[in-house]
């Protein structure tokens, strides 16, 4: 408990002052492990004392035992212990060159394309730059440097922002002109109308997901059906908001297919156990699993949610990342409307982001959710949640509107835009194939095709002795493998246990994002590591 300075001073003893001068105790104080009986009397150096006192009282009043237990329960593997270790090794490569058997860390843990060299789309950056410095719009030199459609787009956006200021708060759902463009983009994509009033622009898709969990989860009796394996945003957000994750399992042997029979069974048993299942999460294309759902499968899911009164949370952030021949992305909104399922029959929340696709603008934090089927009163409550954060960042809002309303045929940027987009997407498709093939060549590894998204998620059939060795050091087998891989090669992958997996199966997730020219080197390192690992632990 925090104590007043007066009371603390009265409690001080000379013995404690002497202890504080002891260097061991002083270190304890700095580390926040000392207790308040080390506080010196008023004769001691006051400012030093105050610093020490605040360090002591601050750390002693907040401990792992008394913080929100939901935070302790929350895990987020894509930035977990393997990544923390990778950052440490990266530091050591600088401070102690040659201290590891590799000279760089290759971050294959997270779908962060620009960090691995993917260039941004020129048109998007031109518009954002001009909006951020609108004085440029009136300069003649600007016409030599920027394309005419970027200039006219920036004028249109800036002229529709109150005060023409990108440094001002916006409406809590986002700038109207950006929502108009997003709605127009959805309408063009789906062939069914979208309403700008249904759009909530967010700082990436993640805050939208958190907002929905906040809205839906009142206690641990409230459950959300989530795919296993899943992107850990969902398990983390459910844990953070005090709800219950109800798993349904994607079928690895059927290309990570989503089976309605399993969904129904999981829903029934959760209900029988007293859980009030509120929503179903579907990630399409899948992360970490990379499958692209067929339209028929999606129709079944829409019907299921409608019949069971479940909110459909459709994570569609990889909608532009489809590589497999014959596969196509269909938004759940389009599928529902094409079945004649309307607003009053299904609550559908669709998430999109500027972080993925061919744009990969993760750090810009732009996203939106399209909210359909919520009644007016509840939508007002959602608006209240959004307004507690005031608004999402303005550059992210602008970028999101550009992603949904890119240059059109006939505009000056169009050709360059299409070239840049195609180059990125075709390279991602090649990399998805190369990595899948490389994984399948490894002994004891099977890997489904990455039909979409940005990852391969191979299954590791590890020797018994490797699992025993992992157990002996208190690690899960996939963590043990990923840790060994990192220490030997500098390649960072995320253990499958961070996403959930059928008990007794082990996986790792690897992004397909290393630059194409680096990929052969990464695969060589992985292959050499893997065969040594298998040799070392052969039964």
- Of residues 175, 177, 182, 233, which one binds ligand PLP by CB under 6 A? 233
Residues in 360-389 at the binding interface with ligand PLP, rule: CB under 6 A:
362, 367
Closest CA to 280 of 293, 439, 384: 293
What minimum distance in Å lies between the beta carbon of 376 and ligand PLP? 27
Stretch that binds ligand PLP, among 63-71, 200-208, 265-273, 412-420 (CB under 6 A): 200-208
- Element (DSSP H or E) covering residue 194: none
Residues in 87-116 at the binding interface with ligand PLP, rule: CB under 6 A:
111
- Of residues 198, 252, 315, 320, which one binds ligand PLP by CB under 6 A? 315
User: Angle formed by the axes of helices 295-308 and 260-272, to 10°?
Assistant: 20
- How does strand 367-372 pair with strand 455-456? unpaired
* Nearer to ligand PLP among residue 126 and residue 315 (C-beta): 315
Stretch that binds ligand PLP, among 84-92, 125-133, 201-209, 528-536 (CB under 6 A): 201-209
DSSP lists the bridge partners of residue 348 as 312, 372
Note the Cα 293 to chain centre separation in Å: 20
Q: 234 by DSSP, 3-state: which?
A: helix
Cis peptide before 229 (omega within 30 of 0): yes
Stretch that binds ligand PLP, among 12-20, 30-38, 185-193, 202-210 (CB under 6 A): 202-210
Buried b (16+ CB within 10 A) or exposed e, 218-227: eeeebbbbbb
- Of residues 105, 131, 317, 523, which one binds ligand PLP by CB under 6 A? 317
Stretch that binds ligand PLP, among 19-27, 198-206, 265-273, 457-465 (CB under 6 A): 198-206
Note the helical H segments in 160-283.
176-190, 205-216, 233-240, 260-272
Is residue 428 close enough to count as binding ligand PLP by CB under 6 A? no
Stretch that binds ligand PLP, among 89-97, 153-161, 199-207, 374-382 (CB under 6 A): 199-207
Residues 472, 460: contact at Cβ < 8 Å?
no
Alpha-carbon distance of 123 to 117, in angstroms, equals 18
- Quick note: the x/- pattern for ligand PLP over 329-358, rule CB under 6 A, is ------------------------x-x---
What minimum distance in Å lies between the beta carbon of 313 and ligand PLP? 10
Note the helical H segments in 217-259.
233-240
* Nearer to ligand PLP among residue 128 and residue 523 (C-beta): 128
Residues in 249-308 at the binding interface with ligand PLP, rule: CB under 6 A:
283, 287
* Nearer to ligand PLP among residue 242 and residue 285 (C-beta): 285
Alpha-carbon distance of 126 to 413, in angstroms, equals 10
> For binding to ligand PLP (CB under 6 A), which residues are involved?
111, 204-206, 231, 233, 283, 287, 315, 317, 353, 355, 362, 367
């Amino acid at each position: 408990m925090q104590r007043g300075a007066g009371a603390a001073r009265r409690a001080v003893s000379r013995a404690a002052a002497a202890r504080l001068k002891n260097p061991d105790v002083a270190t304890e104080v700095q580390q926040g492990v000392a207790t308040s009986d080390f506080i010196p009397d008023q004769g001691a150096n006051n400012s030093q004392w105050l610093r020490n006192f605040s360090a002591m009282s601050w750390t002693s009043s907040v401990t792992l035992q008394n913080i929100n237990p939901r935070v302790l329960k929350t895990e987020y593997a894509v930035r977990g212990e393997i990544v923390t270790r990778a950052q440490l090794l990266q530091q050591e490569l600088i401070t102690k060159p040659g201290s590891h058997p590799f000279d760089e860390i290759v971050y294959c843990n997270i779908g962060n394309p620009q960090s691995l060299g993917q260039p941004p789309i020129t048109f998007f950056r031109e518009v954002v730059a001009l909006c951020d410095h609108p004085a440029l719009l009136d300069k003649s030199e600007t016409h030599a440097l920027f394309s005419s459609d970027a200039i006219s787009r920036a004028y249109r956006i800036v002229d529709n922002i109150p005060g023409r200021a990108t440094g001002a708060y916006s409406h809590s759902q986002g700038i109207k002109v950006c929502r108009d463009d997003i709605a127009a983009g959805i309408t063009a994509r789906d062939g069914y109308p979208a309403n700008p009033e249904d759009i909530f622009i967010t700082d990436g898709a993640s805050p939208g997901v958190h907002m929905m969990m906040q809205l839906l989860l009142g206690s641990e009796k409230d459950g959300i059906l989530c795919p296993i394996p899943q992107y850990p945003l969902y398990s983390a957000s459910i844990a953070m908001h005090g709800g219950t994750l109800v798993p349904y399992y994607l079928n690895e042997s059927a290309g990570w297919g989503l089976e309605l029979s399993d969904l129904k069974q999981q829903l029934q048993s959760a209900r029988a156990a007293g859980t009030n299942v509120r929503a179903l999460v579907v990630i399409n294309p899948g992360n970490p699993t990379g499958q692209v759902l067929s339209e028929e499968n999606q129709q079944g899911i829409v019907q299921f949610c409608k019949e069971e009164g479940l909110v459909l949370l459709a994570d569609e952030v990889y909608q532009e990342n489809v590589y497999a021949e014959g596969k196509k992305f269909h938004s759940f909104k389009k599928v529902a409307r094409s079945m004649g399922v309307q607003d009053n029959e299904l609550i559908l929340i669709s998430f999109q982001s500027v972080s993925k696709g061919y744009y990969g603008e993760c750090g810009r934090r732009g996203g939106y959710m399209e909210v359909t089927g919520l009644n007016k009163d509840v939508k007002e409550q959602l608006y209240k949640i959004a307004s507690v954060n005031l608004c999402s960042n303005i550059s992210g809002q602008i970028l999101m509107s550009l992603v949904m309303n890119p240059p059109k045929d006939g505009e000056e940027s169009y050709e360059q835009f299409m070239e840049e987009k195609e180059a990125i997407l075709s390279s991602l498709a090649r990399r998805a194939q190369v990595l899948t093939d490389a994984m399948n060549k490894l002994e004891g590894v099977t890997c489904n095709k990455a039909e979409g998204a940005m990852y391969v998620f191979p299954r590791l059939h590890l020797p018994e002795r490797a699992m025993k060795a992992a157990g002996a050091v208190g690690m899960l087998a996939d963590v043990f493998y990923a840790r060994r891989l990192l220490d030997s090669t500098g390649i960072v992958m995320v253990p499958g246990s961070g996403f959930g997996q059928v008990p007794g199966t082990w996986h790792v997730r690897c992004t397909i994002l290393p630059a194409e020219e680096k990929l052969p080197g990464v695969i060589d390192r992985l292959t050499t590591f893997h065969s040594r690992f298998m040799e070392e632990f052969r039964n």
